[in-house]
Amino acid sequence: MKLAHLADVHLGFRQYHRLNSQGINQREADVAAAFRHAVDEVIEAKPDLVVIAGDLFHSVRPTNPAILHSFNQFRKLRMALPETPVILVAGNHDTPRSVETGTILRLFEALDHVYVVAAEPKTLVFETLNAAVTCVPHLAWRQAQRPTLLPKGEFRFHVAVTHGEVAGVLPTASWSAEYGGVLLEPSELHADRWDYVALGHYHVAHKVRDNAWYAGALEYVTHNPWGELKDEAREGRPGLKGWLLVDLSSGAPDVQFRPVPLARKLVDLAPIQGDGLSPDELDAEIAARIEQMDDGPDNQVLRQVVYDVARTVSRDLDHTRIRDFKARALHYHLDLRRAPPSGPVGLTEEGTRRTLRDILVDFLERRPLDVSIARSALVALATSYMDHVDRHEEG
């Protein structure tokens, strides 16, 4: 059995306030194009099963273009692969905060062989595949009674699909794990009991273990794409987004990463050390980074970090030229970072770190007070509060 594992599509995601010729936010159009490419490639691969492990949409109230585009893509998928089940599991972005609010995912139940799991855990049985797929959406993990993720029934293939952050398995310095998801303990997955575990929420394709994977996102759909670039480089796939084609026929899963062509590059330009540079010299360094780009800055998403820049230098840069870079790129972020303070902060004259108690007492000893307030009593009250906090922390 072959399955296509997608996740974190985030249709309707908007960023950078630039519109295309149809009046649609350019990044929203980019995300829609990535999903269209992915669907076309899934159709070409002809899997036996398609799973989307959460966050099909970026919000519980997606834009009308996002709804229309998604429905058309699923209808195209159904027409090309009429007997292939498609499973949609709700992620945190798909899940309304109020239980009384319905989910837009129910729309796709109007299509044959599309199964939506949005609230309660559900095991879907496909007799023709001799397979059972157990789905746990985001909302189910948020309940007081956590679900038990274990295979059910006697089938050749057992697949689990869920959305959340598995504790302790992402890169230690990961920048790109989203907020808002649930934290799953590795033991809750019972990964050794499944033929495959399809995960969503982390936007970089990542192997948790041989039979458990995050598919990653199809586009850069967070507000920190630069962190994702770092994580992708760590995974050996810099600048690549895509989905997973998983073959379970031979026992151990054969997992293939299938990249999706992106509408534009995200380029984190080589950083510049600005200490000691004059405005003209820094202007020249910034321009040189742009000129060194193979394809130029046009319609790309760029960041240029400059460290240790004096305020006077940043003020006197050639901002006309910088505005030209911004006009040519879809987005150009010049990240000018001030030099760290030269004097000691929070240290004694001997260089040892001062405690919060010392800083508080010193402040209260010096601040002006009304004549009716006894300074010694105020200091004693403050330190008693600190003692209370210390006892609470020890407890």
Residue with tokens 């690549």: 240
Are 79 and 132 within one domain? yes
Are 144 and 219 within one domain? yes
Distance between CA atoms of 157 and 166, rounded to whole angstroms? 23
Are 382 and 297 within one domain? no
Are 174 and 122 within one domain? yes
Please give the pLDDT value at position 341.
63
Asked whether residue 365 is assigned to any structural domain, the reply reads yes
> Which class for 24: exposed (0-12), middle (13-18), buried (19 or more C-beta within 10 A)?
middle
Q: What is the DSSP letter of 196?
A: E
Mapped onto helix, strand or coil, the DSSP state of residue 301 is strand
Are 128 and 112 within one domain? yes
Angle at 363 between CA 359 and CA 365, to 5 degrees: 120
CA-to-CA separations, 23 to 17, 19, 26, 65, 326, in angstroms, rounded: 11, 5, 8, 11, 20
Alpha-carbon torsion, ordered 97, 34, 133, 48, to 10 deg: 160
Q: Which helix (H) or strand (E) holds 256?
A: strand 254-259
Domain end among 211, 231, 259: 259
Asked whether residue 351 is assigned to any structural domain, the reply reads no
Is residue 125 within 8 A of residue 155, CB to CB? The reply is yes
In tens digits, the chain (395 residues) has pLDDT values of: 999 999 999 999 999 989 988 889 999 999 999 999 999 999 999 999 999 999 999 999 998 999 999 999 999 999 999 999 999 999 999 988 766 677 899 999 999 999 999 989 999 999 999 999 999 999 999 888 999 999 999 999 999 999 999 988 877 555 556 667 888 999 999 999 999 999 999 999 999 999 999 999 999 998 789 989 999 999 999 999 999 999 999 878 999 999 999 999 999 999 999 999 999 999 999 999 999 998 889 999 999 999 999 889 999 999 999 999 999 999 999 999 987 765 555 555 555 566 788 888 888 887 777 777 888 888 889 888 887 776 655 55
Distance between CA atoms of 93 and 57, rounded to whole angstroms? 7
Is residue 106 within 8 A of residue 116, CB to CB? The reply is yes
Are 298 and 389 within one domain? no
Q: Which residues contact 83 (CB under 8 A, 6 or more apart)?
A: 113, 128
Are 17 and 66 within one domain? yes
CATH number where 199 lies: 3.60.21.10
Are 284 and 197 within one domain? no
Domain end among 243, 259, 275: 259
Distance between CA atoms of 117 and 135, rounded to whole angstroms? 7
Asked whether residue 232 is assigned to any structural domain, the reply reads yes
Please give the pLDDT value at position 211.
95
Asked whether residue 50 is assigned to any structural domain, the reply reads yes
Are 313 and 371 within one domain? no
Is residue 165 within 8 A of residue 201, CB to CB? The reply is yes
Q: Count other Cβ atoms within 10 Å, centred on residue 377.
A: 9
Please list the alpha-helical segments (H only) found in the chain.
26-45, 64-80, 138-141, 186-189, 225-235, 279-291, 311-315, 319-328, 356-366, 375-394
Q: Tell me the DSSP string of 122-139.
A: EEEEEGGGTEEEEEE-HH
Strands 122-126 vs 157-163: parallel, antiparallel or unpaired = unpaired
Distance between CA atoms of 106 and 96, rounded to whole angstroms? 13
Asked whether residue 150 is assigned to any structural domain, the reply reads yes
Asked whether residue 73 is assigned to any structural domain, the reply reads yes
Please give the pLDDT value at position 177.
61
Residue 179: phi and psi, rounded to 5, are -80, 160
End-to-end CA distance of the chain: 54
Are 191 and 288 within one domain? no
Asked whether residue 360 is assigned to any structural domain, the reply reads yes
Q: What sign does the CA torsion over 25, 28, 34, 37 have?
A: negative
Is residue 260 within 8 A of residue 37, CB to CB? The reply is yes
Which residues constitute the domain of residue 27? 2-259
Structurally, the chain folds into a number of domains equal to: 3
Domain end among 259, 288, 305: 259
- Closest by Cα among 58, 52, 60, 71 to 7: 52
Which two tokens mark 231? 């994580």
Are 143 and 116 within one domain? yes
Asked whether residue 346 is assigned to any structural domain, the reply reads no
Is residue 260 within 8 A of residue 242, CB to CB? The reply is yes
Are 301 and 222 within one domain? no
Q: Count other Cβ atoms within 10 Å, centred on residue 371.
A: 5
Is residue 318 within 8 A of residue 298, CB to CB? The reply is no
